[in-house]
Structure formats: structure tokens, C-alpha cells
Amino acid sequence: MMKTFKIGLLGLGTVGGGTVRILQETRDEIERRIGHRIEIELIAVRDLQRARLVDTDGIHLTDDPFAVVNHPDIDIVVELMGGTTLAKELLLRAIENGKQIVTANKALLAEQGNVLFALAEKNQVNIRYEAAVAGGIPIIKVLREGLAANQIEWLAGIINGTGNYILTEMAKPEADFAQVLKTAQALGYAEADPTFDVEGIDAAHKLTILASIAFGIELQFDKVYTEGITRVTAEDMEFARLFDYKIKHLGFAGRTSDGFSLRVHPALVKKEVLIANVDGVMNAVMVKGNHVGPTMYYGPGAGAGPTASSVVADIIDVIRAATQEPTERVPALGFQANRLTQAPVEPIDAIESAYYLRCYVQDHAGVLAQISGAFADLGINIEQLHQVPNAEKPQDATLVIFTEKVSERKINQALVALQALTAVDSMIQRIRIADLG
């Protein structure tokens, strides 16, 4: 028997407008897929007088978001307003009222998701959130369902289009960070305040969610090591190119001998690795399962169409799940709530990696011997060492060092030893080298 499911939207911005448009234009196709109708009952907006980018004739609008979550006829609340304070209060109320939930709010889930998921389970409510990570790429469903036969060993993703655009443009001749950032802002790829993107906070929110689904661990945003791209220079991009690498801003989550590693930082990636060739504002996530091996998922990570496509897919999933017993539904995080792993997230200094180091040194006899000796004293093997004379300062040179894999703790000790040498400038660049084999 065909039923009509009524939707309430919180927010009618870019993604909200895209969601309304898809539901209007694809209504017949969706009905064919699920055997039920979908109607938008009410949308909460900030300004009732503002011009809309989508046709809202026949749809009730309100400037009171609580009218949506308290509406007796609404079955599914779709939260697209962002933020972590009011949005949390609204979703808690919606869950208590028995509403099914669809959200694109990665910050809210990463920081408050444990509370929301626990309340949803208690109230037998579904929360779906595909649009919270990587826009139109169905990576949540891949991890939660498509790769369910695998133990996930690690995942690595370009999960912020703004940062990826900046690094892509910086690889071009005579480009620098400040210049490229201004271009990104002019094109609408970066916000007026780009902190969340360029400092890795947005990517850390998304990585928190991906790691929870991949490994069956609680959401632990506060444990993610986060490093931005503001210190990456055109000089680093050029050295990466010379040695057949590209620099990408990666979110990485993996199993370790004592727990898990969750980190966001710039990384050198070998050019032949697929993810190294993901450019512009596109996103990609590599996942290695113990049976399937490495797989990669690529597509647009933002925008009205791609993100709204994921929102509507979640609405469809929620409606399909409404006909199932709560115990038979796919769990929100892919694992039964009482089976979440408690293994700790290790600090960044516990990881092992190969490293790219760049510094300025005095160009005279004995300097390289001092530097090599400092590494040898710590048992760190140098894989490559490259010195470039400074045309403007003949007494100085740029030194690039590639190390073999070593613990972060040891490389930190090496940096201290190098900075103690009078022939070495104290400003030393350090970028980790990704091992995605």
C-alpha cells in the first residue's frame, strides 16, 4: 500500500534548495524505486522574505525551526542548517518526538554524534548522513554496507575540495599559497574565513565519521591530529615534482598495533598512486580491506547537486527502513552499538612514516657531515639528500632530505638536533610521506 511520507527541512540554502529541486524533478522516479510518495510539508528558513533559488509554491515556510521538529505530521526531519548548537538542540527534540533524521552536518556528528546516535537508538530512530562526507560520493554506504565483509585496514582521503584546489594550483609555476587562496575565494571555493578548510578542521570532522564507520569505534574528533596546508610552499611543490611526488592534504585513519591512528596533514604521495592525480575541487577516498585490497572512490565533494543527491538517497533509505523492525536496520555506524571497539587513538608521535625535510644551510665544507651524523646518532637512515645552491646568497643552500620510515618521535628528536647546528636555519619544513601500497 502506497504511503505518503512527509518531510520537514531545516535550512534552504545551497544544499536545501538542491534537495527540494531533486524531490520535485525526480518525484516519479523516486516513487518507482520505493513505492511511496514524498511530500515536503514544512521548511524552516532564517528570512521569510528572502528570494529563493528554488520554487517553493505550495510548500509552507516558517522562521521557527522548532515548528518543524514538533510538527505532528512530519515523518522525516532533514537538517541542512549547519552549526553545532541550535542544530543539536533541534535534532535531540526531533529524535525524542520519534522523527527519522537525515543530516549533512559533519561538524555536529563528529563532535556530538555519540550523544545523538545513543538517543536515536533508544528511541528506535534512524539517522542517515551520507551527505556529511565527500558530497556526492557514497562513501558512507560503501564502508557501512559495500565493504561489510572486510576488516578495514586503513583509509586515506582527499576530503576537502578547497584544500585540494589550493594545492593543485600551487603546483603550477610561480604560484604561492596567498595568491591561490585569493583566487579560490573569488571563485567561491573558499569562504571569506577559510580556517576550517586550510587548517584541516573540516577534513578532521569528516575523518572522524569515516573512522568510526570503518573500525566500529566511537566518534573521537578531539583525538584527530590536525595540520593544515598554510606552511606548504611553492618550493615544496617543486621538490615534490622533481622526486615524482605530489603533495596532497590527506585524512588518514588506520589500525596500529596498539589502537588506531587518526590524522589530517599534508603528505607526499607517489605520482603513480591514483589519489595523487585527484585535482581541483574533487574528492577521493582510498580504502584498504583485508579481503578486497585497496579500492578508491572519486567524485564531487560539494555543491548543490552532488550533496543534495546524497541527502535524497538518505531520505529514500530512511523510508525503506521504516518498513523494517529496528533490530533489522543497518546500524547508523555500521556496527551494533554494544560492539563498538574501545581501542585508543594513538598520539601523532607514535606513528611511523618516511619524511621529506627541507631547510636552509650554510654552504661550506663539513655541514653535510654534521647533518648526516645527527641522523646517524639517532639511527635514522637517509634515503636521498639533495642540495641546491642559492643564487641570491652564494654562502647558503637549500637542503632536501628524504628519510626512510621512522617513528615521529625520532624525527622530532632529529629536528631538535638539526636546529642546534649553527649551520642550519631553525625553520625546517617537515612533510610526511604517505605509504598507500
Per residue in 215-258, pLDDT tens? 999 999 999 999 999 999 999 999 999 999 999 999 999 999 98
> Residue 76 in contact with residue 318, Cβ under 8 Å?
yes
**Those residues with Cβ within 8 angstroms of residue 245's Cβ, 6 or more apart along the chain or in another chain:** 268, 269, 270, 271, 276, 356, 433
Beta strands (DSSP E) in 257-334 are 259-270, 282-289, 293-300
The third-level CATH classification (topology) of the domain covering 4-137+304-337 is Rossmann fold (3.40.50)
Q: Which three cell numbers, joined as nine digits, stand for 238? A: 617543486
CATH for 139-300 is 3.30.360.10
* The pLDDT value given to residue 106: 98
Q: Which three cell numbers, joined as nine digits, stand for 11? A: 535550512
CATH for 352-433 is 3.30.70.260
* The pLDDT value given to residue 280: 96
Q: How far is CA 268 from CA 32, 220, 244, 296, in A?
A: 47, 26, 9, 18
Q: Which three cell numbers, joined as nine digits, stand for 198? A: 586550510
Examine domains 139-300 and 352-433 and report if their fold is the same.
no
Beta strands (DSSP E) in 22-70 are 37-44, 60-62
> Which secondary structure element, helix H or strand E, spans residue 155, and what is its range?
strand 152-158
Q: Which three cell numbers, joined as nine digits, stand for 301? A: 565533494
SS3 216: coil
Q: In this model, does residue 325 exceed pLDDT 80?
A: no
Q: How far is CA 226 from CA 108, 168, 191, 400, in A?
A: 18, 20, 19, 24
* The pLDDT value given to residue 364: 82
> Residue 40 in contact with residue 22, Cβ under 8 Å?
no
Q: What is the pTM of this model?
A: 0.95
Ranges of each domain in the chain? 4-137+304-337, 139-300, 352-433
> Residue 154 in contact with residue 250, Cβ under 8 Å?
no
The overall average pLDDT reported for the chain is 94
Q: What is the pLDDT of residues 394-418, one digit of tens each?
A: 788 999 999 999 999 999 999 999 9
* The pLDDT value given to residue 90: 98
Q: How far is CA 117 from CA 113, 127, 128, in A?
A: 6, 7, 10
**Those residues with Cβ within 8 angstroms of residue 257's Cβ, 6 or more apart along the chain or in another chain:** none
Q: How far is CA 223 from CA 105, 335, 346, 435, in A?
A: 19, 21, 8, 22
Average pLDDT of the segment spanning 157-163? 97
Q: In this model, does residue 34 exceed pLDDT 90?
A: yes
What is the spatial distance between Cα 33 and Cα 138, in angstroms, rounded to a whole number?
18
Catalytic residue list: 206
The pLDDT confidence band at residue 159, using thresholds 50, 70 and 90, is very high
Q: What is the pLDDT of residues 175-188, one digit of tens each?
A: 889 999 999 999 99
What is the spatial distance between Cα 42 and Cα 132, in angstroms, rounded to a whole number?
22
What sign has the CA pseudo-torsion 418, 419, 420, 421?
positive
> Residue 236 in contact with residue 243, Cβ under 8 Å?
no
Going by the DSSP 8-state scheme, the letter that residue 341 receives in this structure is: B
Residue with cell 556530538: 112
